[in-house]
Amino acid sequence: MVQVAIMGYGVVGSGVAEIITTHKKKLFASLGEEVYIKKILDLREFPDSPLSDRFTKNFNDILNDAEIRVVAEVMGGINPAYDYTTKLLKAGKSVVTSNKELVASKGAQLIEIAKNNNANFLFEASVGGGIPILRPLIQCLVANNVKEIAGILNGTTNFILSKMINEGMDFDSALKLAQDLGFAERNPEADVEGHDACRKICILASLAYGKHIYPDNIHTEGITKISLKDVKYASDYKSVIKLIGDVKLLDNGKIDIFVSPMLIGKKSQLANINDEFNGIMVRGDCTDDVLFYGKGAGSLPTASAVVADIMDSCMHIKERKHLYWADSNNESVLPYNESRTRMYLRVNTPNALDKINKIFGKVYVIASDEELAVATDLMKISQIESNLEKLESEGVKVLSKIRISDL
Amino acid sequence: MVQVAIMGYGVVGSGVAEIITTHKKKLFASLGEEVYIKKILDLREFPDSPLSDRFTKNFNDILNDAEIRVVAEVMGGINPAYDYTTKLLKAGKSVVTSNKELVASKGAQLIEIAKNNNANFLFEASVGGGIPILRPLIQCLVANNVKEIAGILNGTTNFILSKMINEGMDFDSALKLAQDLGFAERNPEADVEGHDACRKICILASLAYGKHIYPDNIHTEGITKISLKDVKYASDYKSVIKLIGDVKLLDNGKIDIFVSPMLIGKKSQLANINDEFNGIMVRGDCTDDVLFYGKGAGSLPTASAVVADIMDSCMHIKERKHLYWADSNNESVLPYNESRTRMYLRVNTPNALDKINKIFGKVYVIASDEELAVATDLMKISQIESNLEKLESEGVKVLSKIRISDL
């Protein structure tokens, strides 16, 4: 029997307990031992839970229990999750987590602590919920140099954009619907401003390139400014607008990483990922494009990834899984100004084409009606920005600009 | 340093050698040791290869070399691959393979031999080429009861169907193009008759349900009878025709498994997998649908999966990966006659509707022009077959019948 504990009995934690209880036989068959939930840490009371006798409000009941070998941290947030996880790893217990905030901001430290204490720190559930992505990336794709990872990493924003694209809803109505259906929080900022996606692309980048990429100064642009006009013009350009977390390793060794809405060609696999689903494309030098698709959130999908990590930890009680990245200060991250892209521009007057051509060079005209929408050639963000300043100084109002993907 | 050998220097074997040579640094970083190719078995001569000094024509040079710990079997076919693999495993060496024929027909035996000799027998590359699927299935989705797996598992037939669907080519022209482009063999039978897909769905089923499912008596239907008329009527039904390997666990414990062309709704993720790409959908009870997409064949994609297995074997030299299924005599496989489906039918006269309604009960009329295309309700194959006999006896010629998927 392997004894485990769960910290946090919210959406994910209760799912973890449910799966371990209802899938007992399946887990036993794989592990050859029973997985037994010995303690659950939560400040709330759950008198009606069938596991009510396992609850504790005292973290030390888990830390000091030598029989507990693996702990699922599914509380969320940095504090006290970081403190607890550190103490557990130092006590030689393995910790698995769905907490992307924790991994994105403290991953390098926790991996190092795990290594020094011969314990495992696993976090498959922190990216893509129930979609297998981290383990395939480090194990199955180990023989590839990863050229690029591009993902629809946030279900809330993908749901909103899908409603705008497929049903012509405006942003506010789509957000309200997402909130009513439970896909979006009452305070949706972390989702709609791209911060959630940023944490996830940073975790993927750290794994793929072996050094911690911190989210703090990564260019992160959300979807609040996307209008139905943009959605329509994108469609005229045979594209859809998706919120993409993207990371590429450039030839000069720099890491080009950002979160931004992008125009994605309708034939791209990423364009067909709709509603609350996530999709992550990994471009390997041997495999070419490989794509992983599924539900990126939700109680049971996310919990099933946490339980998979628990199982993996149970199978590797005495040895460490190979999962490592070094700490860094983001010194290899390309300044966003130097990132190169084609850009979709929408301006307030169809008469601006001559001015645009003069400043940007030749552009592709997507639409010209009461407004003008164009696609520029590939150029640095700094160049685009200075061109836009010139354009504005000549009286043209730029209503929106969105990166164009070549995926 | 971990010393390895490669058996077979064809498309995949030369790719394996290339990746180990060109990705030396990446592999070293993951393993902490060099992967060194000590021997390559092939009856041909490769004097110009940079590895020309490693070639041997004598299998015993590999078998009897105690320094060689891991062997990649990429010869294909059953003989002598089965004999060689058996001997290597008995000698305590781990074997990794891309050989789906070997795994589908001898997997249970080889897994057992590996287990008894504390060696690993891994075969990620045998399904989906470079797409990570087996490891995610057994590791990441371990906390799921797998309800169904449905996959586009053969790139050749998907290429042919894509050309028929998207460019209106007929089967023969599309097959010829596939042959000219190197996607199809001169003798395309194993692909177009579904045998290749059958081996792969059997491997997936064996892993998912823990007992060996042999391809021999699994219903396997290819795509040679699909006409452009069917493609058009499918489109009228908002569907595309794909060759699907499908396995479901029924409530009564029976395994419903087959390979067949199917009408797939255009909104399904599987419908958007085009050209030579593969896609595999796994429906877990916790994750819901998860899909894996990428190149299912080709030298470097397949070889990168073989190298990933080599790496995994190198990391687990002294212990076995958990990968097991028991032998069986297919006793749990549902007789195909008892499989239930909706069926697309095309008959030679639009006047047959009354007769069809009388025999099949109410059907959905897809098209009625010089022919008639309908979709039946859900019923057993045996029922459909006896209904079709009645229909033919009333003078209606059935031009085609294709399963309709609910994916």
Question: Are B27 and A305 in contact (CB < 8 Å)?
Answer: no
Six-digit token string for A272: 């067909």
Which of these, B319, B268, B359, lies nearest to B94 by C-alpha position? B319
Which one is the CATH code of A336-404: 3.30.70.260, 3.90.380.10, 3.40.1380.20, 3.40.309.10?
3.30.70.260
pLDDT digits (tens, 9 = 90+) for B347-375: 999 999 999 999 999 999 999 999 999 99
CA distance B400 to A220: 53
What does the CA dihedral B132, B137, B139, B141 come to, rounded to 10 degrees?
120
Q: Indicate the pLDDT class of residue A241, thresholds 50, 70 and 90.
A: very high
pLDDT at B184 over 80: yes
B220, B198 contact by CB (below 8 A): yes
Per-residue DSSP letter, A126? G
Q: How far is CA A148 from CA A154, B27, B262, in A?
A: 18, 19, 34
B4, B317 contact by CB (below 8 A): no
Helix (DSSP H) and strand (DSSP E) numbers for chain B:
14, 17
Q: What average pLDDT does range A145-158 have in this prediction?
A: 97
Q: How far is CA A110 from CA A93, A196, A292, A327, B286, in A?
A: 12, 20, 27, 10, 28
Q: Write the CATH number of the domain with boundaries A2-129+299-315.
A: 3.40.50.720
Nearest neighbour of A304 by CB, restricted to B284, B293, B322: B284
- Name the active-site residue from B200, B211, B242, B295: B200
Q: How far is CA B135 from CA B139, B308, B312, in A?
A: 6, 10, 11
CATH fold of B2-127+299-315 reads Rossmann fold (3.40.50)
CA-based nearest distance B249→chain A, Å: 14
The yes/no answer to whether this complex scores an ipTM above 0.85 is: yes
pLDDT at A321 over 90: no
Chain B partners of A288 at a C-beta cutoff of 8 Å? 130, 294-295, 301
Chain A partners of B139 at a C-beta cutoff of 8 Å? 132, 135, 308, 311-312
Q: Which residue reads 């994605």 in tokens? A: A264
Q: What is the CA radius of gyration of chain B?
A: 23
| From-to residues of CATH 3.30.70.260 in chain B | 336-404
Question: What residues of chain B, 246 to 305, have a C-beta less than 8 Å from chain A?
Answer: 269, 272, 284, 286-295, 300-301, 303-305
Q: Parallel, antiparallel, or unpaired: how do β-strands B288-295 and A288-295 relate?
A: antiparallel
CA distance B240 to B141: 29
State which amino acid sits at residue B255. I
Query: Which residue did the predictor score with more confidence, A363 or A322?
Result: A363
List strand residue ranges (DSSP E) for B127-254, in order.
146-152, 219-220, 239-249
Q: Indicate the pLDDT class of residue A317, thresholds 50, 70 and 90.
A: confident
pLDDT digits (tens, 9 = 90+) for B339-349: 999 999 999 99
Give catalytic status of residue A200 as yes or no: yes
Which one is the CATH code of B134-295: 3.30.110.30, 3.30.360.10, 3.40.50.620, 3.90.1300.10?
3.30.360.10
CA distance B395 to B348: 10
pLDDT at A54 over 80: yes
pLDDT digits (tens, 9 = 90+) for A78-91: 999 999 999 999 99
A387, A360 contact by CB (below 8 A): yes
Q: Indicate the pLDDT class of residue B323, thresholds 50, 70 and 90.
A: confident
| From-to residues of CATH 3.30.360.10 in chain B | 134-295
pLDDT at B211 over 90: yes
pLDDT at A236 over 90: yes
Residue B318: count of CB within 10 angstroms of its CB: 7
Chain A partners of B311 at a C-beta cutoff of 8 Å? 139, 142-143
Q: What are phi and psi of B118, to 5 degrees?
A: 50, 40
CA-based nearest distance B269→chain A, Å: 8
